[in-house]
Copies of this chain bind each other. A is one copy, B any other.
């Protein structure tokens, strides 16, 4: 029996979060969303990539549970799901020095 501090499942979940944050453009999205809701096309413009690409990045973030979406007419607004997302991002920045 190996000395395991947290369950393997907990590690897998944490790794999924890290994977979702392992891309500069997705981190840029999180920064934009720190200022409040934004539409896909707004994010696409701010981050500097095409709309389909942004939609996929947002899908990754949503699958990881970092953001949620809300539809208003033809526009879909994304927002951070929780302040802990920013806490994690800041913790990464501290390690990055």
Distance in Å: Cβ of A19 to nearest Cβ of chain B:
4
The residues of A with any CB-CB pair to B shorter than 8 Å are: 2-6, 8, 10-19, 21-24, 27-28, 31-32, 34-35, 45-46, 48, 65-66, 82, 84-85, 87-97
**Which of B14, B27, B91, B95 is the one whose CB lies under 8 Å from A27?**
B14
Q: Which of A14, A21, A48, A90 has the most CB of B within 10 A?
A: A14
Q: Which of A6, A17, A34, A65 has the most CB of B within 10 A?
A: A17
**Which of B4, B16, B32, B92 is the one whose CB lies under 8 Å from A88?**
B92
Cα distance, A14 to B66, chains bound together (Å): 16
Distance in Å: Cβ of A88 to nearest Cβ of chain B:
4
